[in-house]
Amino acid sequence: TDLSLIRNFSIIAHIDHGKSTLADRLIQVCGGLTDREMSEQVLDNMDIERERGITIKAQTVRLSYTAKDGKTYELNLMDTPGHVDFAYEVSRSLAACEGALLVVDAAQGVEAQTLANVYQSIEHDHEIVPVINKIDLPAAEPDKVKAEIEDIIGLDASDAVLTSAKSGIGVEDVLEALVKRIPPPTGDRDAPLKAMLVDSWYDPYLGVVILVRVMDGWLKKGLEVRFMQGGTQHLVDRVGCFRPKRSDLDEIGPGEIGFITAQIKEVEQARVGDTITTARNGAPAPLKGYKEVQPVVFCGLFPVDAADFEKLRESIGKLRLNDASFSYEMESSAALGFGFRAGFLGLLHLEIIQERLSREYDLDLITTAPSVVYRVHLGHTKNEVATTIDIHNPADWPDVNRIEMIEEPWIKATIYTPDEYLGPILKLCQDRRGIQTNLTYVGGRAQVSYELPLNEVVFDFYDRLKSISRGYASFDYEQIGLREGDLVKMNILVNNEPVDALSLIVHRSVAEERGRGMCERLKDLIPRHLFKIPIQAAIGGKIIARETIAALRKDVTAKCYGGDITRKKKLLEKQKKGKARMREYGNVSIPQEAFIAALRMG
Ligand code: GTP
Biggest distance spanned by C-alpha atoms of the chain:
95
> The complex's ipTM?
0.96
The answer to whether residue 134 scores a pLDDT higher than 90 is: yes
Model confidence at 560, pLDDT cuts 50, 70, 90, reads: very low
Secondary structure of 131-157 in the HEC alphabet? EEECCCCCCCCHHHHHHHHHHHHCCCC
The larger pLDDT score, comparing residue 137 to residue 322, is at 137
Q: List, chain by chain if needed, residues with CB within 6 Å of any ligand 1 atom.
A: 13, 15-21, 44, 53-55, 82, 133-134, 136-137, 164-166
Gap from CA of 76 to ligand 1 centroid (Å): 21
Round to the nearest angstrom and report the end-to-end CA distance of the chain: 60
**Closest residue (by CA) to atom 5 of ligand 1?**
16
The answer to whether residue 577 scores a pLDDT higher than 70 is: no
- Angle between helix 112-123 and 87-95 (nearest 10): 40
Which of 15, 21, 166 for a ligand 1 pocket mutation test, highest count of atoms within 8 Å of Cβ?
21
Q: What is the pLDDT of residue 34?
A: 60
| Sheet hosting strand 337-344, strand order edge to edge | 327-333, 337-344, 297-303, 365-367
**Closest residue (by CA) to atom 28 of ligand 1?**
134
Atom of ligand 1 lying closest to residue 24 CA: 11
Side-chain half-sphere of 144: how many Cα atoms within 13 Å?
Answer: 13
Return all residues near 313 (Cβ < 8 A) that are at least 6 apart: 340
Model confidence at 58, pLDDT cuts 50, 70, 90, reads: very low
Gap from CA of 57 to ligand 1 centroid (Å): 18
The answer to whether residue 347 scores a pLDDT higher than 80 is: no
State the Cα–Cα distance between residues 98 and 128, nearest whole angstrom. 9
Gap from CA of 151 to ligand 1 centroid (Å): 24
The answer to whether residue 204 scores a pLDDT higher than 80 is: no
Gap from CA of 94 to ligand 1 centroid (Å): 22
For 114-118, 153-157, 407-411, which range has the lowest pLDDT when averaged over its residues?
A: 114-118
Backbone φ and ψ for 17, nearest 5 degrees, come out as -80, -10
For 158-162, 322-326, 499-503, 584-588, which range has the lowest pLDDT when averaged over its residues?
A: 584-588
CA distance readout (Å), 31 to 234, 392, 424: 34, 50, 50
Gap from CA of 244 to ligand 1 centroid (Å): 19
**Closest residue (by CA) to atom 15 of ligand 1?**
16
Gap from CA of 198 to ligand 1 centroid (Å): 26
Atom of ligand 1 lying closest to residue 53 CA: 3
The larger pLDDT score, comparing residue 322 to residue 316, is at 316
**Closest residue (by CA) to atom 13 of ligand 1?**
18
State the Cα–Cα distance between residues 402 and 377, nearest whole angstrom. 8
Which of 10, 11, 12, 20 for a ligand 1 pocket mutation test, highest count of atoms within 8 Å of Cβ?
20
**Closest residue (by CA) to atom 18 of ligand 1?**
16
Atom of ligand 1 lying closest to residue 17 CA: 7
Gap from CA of 164 to ligand 1 centroid (Å): 10
Q: What digits encode the pLDDT tens for the residues 407-464?
A: 999 999 988 888 889 999 999 999 999 999 999 987 667 889 999 999 998 877 887 8
Q: What is the pLDDT of residue 485?
A: 95
Return all residues near 231 (Cβ < 8 A) that are at least 6 apart: none
Residues 481/375, Cβ–Cβ less than 8 Å: no
Which of 12, 16, 79 for a ligand 1 pocket mutation test, highest count of atoms within 8 Å of Cβ?
16
Is residue 244 reached through a cis peptide bond, with omega within 30 degrees of 0 on the bond before it? yes
Which of 84, 166, 167, 169 for a ligand 1 pocket mutation test, highest count of atoms within 8 Å of Cβ?
166
Q: What is the pLDDT of residue 573?
A: 58
Other C-beta atoms lying within 10 Å of the C-beta of residue 379? 13
State the Cα–Cα distance between residues 480 and 458, nearest whole angstrom. 16
Alpha helices in 394-491 (DSSP H): 422-431, 454-457, 461-468
The larger pLDDT score, comparing residue 59 to residue 173, is at 173
Helix/strand/coil for 581: coil
Closest CA to 364 of 319, 309, 297, 317: 309
Atom of ligand 1 lying closest to residue 167 CA: 27
Closest CA to 511 of 485, 533, 534: 485
Long-range contacts from 575-582, C-beta under 8 angstroms, 24+ separation: 578/527, 581/304
State the Cα–Cα distance between residues 558 and 561, nearest whole angstrom. 5
Q: What digits encode the pLDDT tens for the residues 65-100?
A: 999 999 999 999 997 766 667 778 888 888 999 999
Gap from CA of 16 to ligand 1 centroid (Å): 5
Q: What digits encode the pLDDT tens for the residues 229-275?
A: 999 999 999 999 988 778 899 999 999 999 999 999 888 889 999 99
State the Cα–Cα distance between residues 519 and 508, nearest whole angstrom. 17
Residues 319/363, Cβ–Cβ less than 8 Å: no
The answer to whether residue 48 scores a pLDDT higher than 50 is: no
Atom of ligand 1 lying closest to residue 22 CA: 11
Q: What is the pLDDT of residue 55?
A: 40
Gap from CA of 134 to ligand 1 centroid (Å): 8
- Which is it for the CA torsion 352, 357, 363, 365, positive or negative? negative
Q: What is the pLDDT of residue 575?
A: 53
Gap from CA of 102 to ligand 1 centroid (Å): 14
Model confidence at 179, pLDDT cuts 50, 70, 90, reads: very high
Residues 18/322, Cβ–Cβ less than 8 Å: no
Closest CA to 350 of 429, 459, 503, 452: 459
The larger pLDDT score, comparing residue 594 to residue 163, is at 163
Strand partners, 120: none
Q: What is the pLDDT of residue 568?
A: 56
**Closest residue (by CA) to atom 22 of ligand 1?**
18
The answer to whether residue 397 scores a pLDDT higher than 90 is: yes
**Closest residue (by CA) to atom 4 of ligand 1?**
15
**Closest residue (by CA) to atom 23 of ligand 1?**
18
Model confidence at 128, pLDDT cuts 50, 70, 90, reads: very high
State the Cα–Cα distance between residues 126 and 124, nearest whole angstrom. 5
Atom of ligand 1 lying closest to residue 54 CA: 3
Q: What is the pLDDT of residue 359?
A: 85
Q: What is the pLDDT of residue 526?
A: 87
